[in-house]
Structure 1
Amino acid sequence: MASWLFWLIIILGGVAGAVQAPVNATLAQHIRPIPASLVSFIVGGTALLALTLFTLRGQGLSGLGQGLSTAPPWSFLGGLCGAMVVSSVIVGTGAIGANATLSLLTGVQLIAALVIDAIGFGTAGPIPIRWPQVLGVLLIIGGMKLVLTR
């Protein structure tokens, strides 16, 4: 995949995350937060199922099944993490707004990501924490504090 495509996907994901917050919070006003999270995952899961079937390109479902059978059990927890993220965004957006919720969520994610990278959890291997990353996270935390100030 071309490097510009990685950037585009990440940028579109950021925009989608910001749009998702008020959309799901609006749905939650009508059906409550946890059912709104479920509906969000059903719609997203349906879209991903269609995209998966479209992009198999000869691999077939047996290749997919073989890959799933060799994945470590903990690698299936991403869905639970996603459910927590979506639910927390729905609850937070309804209570303190999208900007404050996403600022707080992003700050916490970046702190956790520094630790995750440093211990080498995941596929990238250990990535040492350097002062520019720490400074960047501290600046984001400062910005988060400004956003949360009412």
Structure 2
Amino acid sequence: MIWIHALWVFLAGMLQPVQSGMNAELSRHAATPLTAATWNMLLGFVVVALICVFSGAPVPGVNLLRIAPVWSLWGGLCGAVIVFTMLFNAPVLGAVLLLSCFLLGQLTSSSILDQFGLLGFPQRSIVDQRLVGLILVVAGVVLLLRAR
């Protein structure tokens, strides 16, 4: 069962550079990168709202704002920052360097979240193998930066 989830995440990960390219192209045709980011987030909102409606899932109500921890609502802000950052930097860095830097950021923050069991993640210590893996990713990003 875990392989199905891993495959799902892998396939979603394959969409990230595609999304970045699409967003960068949208940005070239929009007045500003912020305009492109606005359209991106608006379309995402519409798609998720339609999925809620057609799947029979309850439509989120204002009550959620009262019962959920305040920090848990900042995920939308993170999404907006990610979309804007990716569409703004994709034309400058190119797909490989863009996603390598992004992946390094993800692995760094994920390691911190796991190490301390933050934001609802179970605590998992950074063992030697994980540390070596992170160092290899850093080395890869440095090589990609130098190759530019």
TM-score band w.r.t. shorter chain:
0.7 to 0.9
TM-superposed CA distance for 1:13, in Å, is 1.3
Q: What's the CA shift string for 1:18-66, capped at 9, x where partnerless? A: 1001110011011121111111111111111111223335xx44xx435
Which residue pairs with 1:75 in the alignment? 72
Letter in 2 for 1:40: N
2:124 aligned counterpart, secondary structure: coil
Deviations 1:105-147 (A, max 9, x none): 1112211211121121122222211111111111111111222
- Of the candidates 92, 103, 106, which is equivalent to residue 106 of structure 1? 103
Aligned partners of 1:146 and 1:17: how far apart in 2? Answer: 22
Query: Which residue of the partner structure matches residue 30 of structure 1?
Result: 29
SS at match of 1:75: helix
Q: Could you list the runs of 5+ residues in structure 2 that have no partner in the other structure?
A: none
The reply to whether residue 13 of structure 1 matches residue 22 of structure 2 is no
5+ long unaligned stretches in structure 1: none
**What's the % identity of the aligned pairs?**
29
Preserved CA contact (<8 Å) 2:113 2:121: no
Q: Residue 147 in 1 paired to residue 128 in 2?
A: no
Work out whether residues 20 and 90 of structure 2, in 8 Å CA contact, stay in contact via their aligned partners in 1: yes
Taking only aligned residues, the RMSD between alpha carbons, in angstroms, comes to 1.7
Equivalenced residue count is 145
Change (3 A) 1:123 1:56: farther
Counterpart-to-counterpart distance in 2, 1:11 and 1:55: 24
Q: TM-score, with normalisation over the residues of structure 2?
A: 0.88
Partner of 1:54: 54
